[in-house]
Amino acid sequence: MSDTIDVMINGERRTVAAGVTLLELLASLELDPRVVVVEHNRAIVRRPRLPGVTVAEGDSIELVHFVGGG
């Protein structure tokens, strides 16, 4: 088994460590889980569940936050 996997994060292919959780992924990207919402394969993952969800090869992850808008 390979040590790394490829996933799509915000539409970009990224290589991450195999077995990484969503919370660890946020930490590696230096993102504060309090201001980022995670969508994992089109399903929203609430903050308390972030440590319990492991990322798998080919997963699609969207990381969104609030920006200026009208």
Cα 53 to Cα 33: distance, rounded to the nearest angstrom: 14
State the number of CA atoms in the 13 A half-sphere of 6 facing the CB: 3
The CA-based diameter of the chain, rounded to the nearest angstrom, is 48
Contact window for other proteins (CB under 8 A) among 8-16, 17-25, 49-57: 8-16
Instruction: Give 3 or 30: the residue with its C-beta nearer to other proteins.
Output: 30
Residue type, 56: A
Interface pick for other proteins out of 9, 21, 49, 53 (rule CB under 8 A):
9
Unique residue bearing structure tokens 């230096």: 30
The interface with other proteins within residues 30-49 (CB under 8 A) comprises 30-31, 35-37, 39, 42, 44, 46
Which residues contribute to the site for other proteins (CB under 8 A)? 9-12, 29-31, 35-37, 39, 42, 44, 46, 62-70
